[in-house]
A and B are shown apart, each in its own frame.
Chain A
Amino acid sequence: MPRKPPPDSDLKERRELLDAAGIARTLRRMAHEIAERVPHGEKPLYLVGVRTGGAYLAHRLCDVLAAAGEGKPILGAVDISLYRDDVFHGLPKPEIGPTELPEPIEGRTIVLVDDVLFTGRTIRAAMDVLADYGRPRAVKLAALIDRGMRELPIQPDFVGLALQTTVLESVRVMLTERGEPDRVVLRERPA
């Protein structure tokens, strides 16, 4: 098991941040912003999801972009388990997903996609993974939720929903890909 995630039992749901329709609407808007602000045309857009939540969202963004006539983006995924700076807090994670970059990233503009942007450490690790595969021209960051409390100088380029949270709170993104109904909820640990 990885670093101990807060046990679900003592987390109380406080409010719903997005419902299924809200997630769909937010992703549509983000897809349009990406299409507008990331140069493409000569070469398709290149979306890379951070496993596991970000990979599902990158897939959905790809579908929205393709449906909107922006061409079918290249879809990749990175697993950051081997690049974490906290591998040794707790037992190592016994399960690692594949990193799949179907086309060389050298010279491309990459849009990293994550579900929740928090300390920024995940994104730092994801950028290190990319660096081991090549030198992208630029890396952009899209996050469905930005919950603040950054510990590193990392900022998103595309945000679905931004809110300020506390250490006692936790944002959970539920997705049908994981066998749950589409929802984003804010949960809180009793102080």
Chain B
Amino acid sequence: MSAFGHRHLLGIEPLAAADIETILTLSERFLEIAERPIKKVPTLRGKTVINLFLEPSTRTRTSFEIAAKRLSADAVNISGSGSSTTKGETLLDTARNLDAMSPDVVVVRHSLAGAAEMLAKQLRAGVVNGGDGAHEHPTQALLDCSTIRAHKGKLAGLEVAICGDIRHSRVARSNIWALTKLGARVRVAAPRTLLAPGLTEMGATVHERIEPALEGADVVMMLRIQKERMGGGLFPNTREYSRYFGLNLRRLELAKSDAIVMHPGPLNRGVEIDPAVADGPRAVILDQVARGVAVRMAVLYLLAGGESAAE
């Protein structure tokens, strides 16, 4: 297995397949820690992780916080509404001030694409992209790959359908990069107004209806309709969206009989996913969440460890 030579995790695009494999394999080890009587190892004792979340988040922020704490790092959480950004401080100033307190890793979520990369150039700390605009959300793609690999035993050769709001989805982008690098084939499906340019170049097959994308799929990944990012008018209404693009039991029949259903959350029940599917036996949504902690532990371990690599 190769060493992990990156100081930051800004996206999946700059990673080699071997880097992704390293993180996934390592995360399998961290998964076991959640089953122990004492869910903590001393590995990152004395290290500080700042979660700078300037966009709402429950799952990702909590997941990073638990990951840091299970590795014995000190985790500090900053959210948009409680921070000086509401007083007009720029992201860069906020981050520089935090950096002056010598954290080892800063996890950043921001509504602007490129926010994490900008910070990585300015800070001494390692930077993890916890989601930047519609650009990337690397740890989500990693936990998705981890979940798929656990259920299917492999990624290479699988047919993965990613359906829904592709245009606003950093999850879709990171997943297309990760899945194609690992040898899976990706089909995306969305109404034309919710597609994005460049998907074919990234290696995905593009559909404007959900049915052809579901046909024979091993994995169905549904995306949330991101109402907060829409100017309106991209689709008529949620009921119509649900009728044409929602995943219900009947549509799921099109996929392979052992296909798994994934969703990065939060769910819009009855919009992109029918509750019967979300709560059904094929859904692995909560498994994704469990694996998210392990994947983030692996990422923090690799980045915080690389810090004092000067020897």
Contact = CB atoms under 8 A, between A and B. Distances in A.
B3 A94 contact: yes
Contacts of A134: 37
Given A94-B22, A96-B29, A132 B36 contact: yes
Contacts of B26: 94-96
A88 B2 CA distance: 17
B201 interface: no
B40 A4 contact: no
Nearest to B310: A90
Nearest to A104: B37
Contacts of A132: 36-38, 40-41
Nearest to B38: A132
B120 to A, nearest CB: 18
Contact of A82 (B4, B25, B42): B42
Given A87-B305, A89-B311, A99-B32, A94 B4 contact: yes
B29 A92 contact: no
A63 to B, nearest CB: 26
Of listed A90, A92, A95, A128, residue having the most chain B CB within 10 A = A92
A86 B238 CA distance: 55
Nearest to A131: B38
A3 B305 CA distance: 11
Nearest to A88: B308
B185 to A, nearest CB: 28
A94 B23 CA distance: 8
Nearest to B32: A98
B170 to A, nearest CB: 26
Contact of B42 (A4, A79, A88, A128): A128
Contacts of B311: 3-4, 89-90
Interface in B1-46: 1-5, 22, 25-26, 29, 32, 36-38, 40-43
Nearest to B18: A94
A187 B3 CA distance: 27
Contacts of A128: 42
Contact of B43 (A83, A91, A97): A83
A179 B42 CA distance: 33
Q: Which of A96, A128, A133 has the most CB of B within 10 A?
A: A96
B24 to A, nearest CB: 11
Contacts of A83: 41-43
Interface string B190-224: 00000000000000000000000000000000000
Contact of A91 (B4, B38, B41, B42): B4
B305 A88 contact: yes
Nearest to A97: B29
Given A83-B42, A96-B29, A98-B29, A91 B3 contact: yes
Nearest to A96: B29
B307 A88 contact: yes
Given A82-B42, A132-B36, A90 B309 contact: yes
Interface in A23-77: none
B19 to A, nearest CB: 9
A90 B311 CA distance: 6
A99 B308 CA distance: 27
A60 B251 CA distance: 55
Contacts of B1: 94-95
Interface in B296-311: 301-302, 304-309, 311
Nearest to A83: B42
Contacts of A79: 29
A1 interface: yes
Contacts of A133: 36-38
B309 A91 contact: yes
12 contacts: A82-B43, A82-B301, A88-B308, A89-B311, A91-B5, A91-B309, A92-B301, A95-B1, A98-B29, A99-B32, A132-B36, A133-B38
Given A95-B25, A96-B29, A133-B36, 7 more contacts: A4-B311, A79-B29, A88-B305, A90-B311, A92-B4, A94-B26, A134-B37
Interface of A: 1, 3-4, 79, 82-83, 87-92, 94-99, 128, 132-134
- Top 8 closest pairs, chain A to chain B, by CB: A92-B305, A82-B41, A82-B43, A1-B3, A96-B29, A132-B38, A88-B308, A94-B22
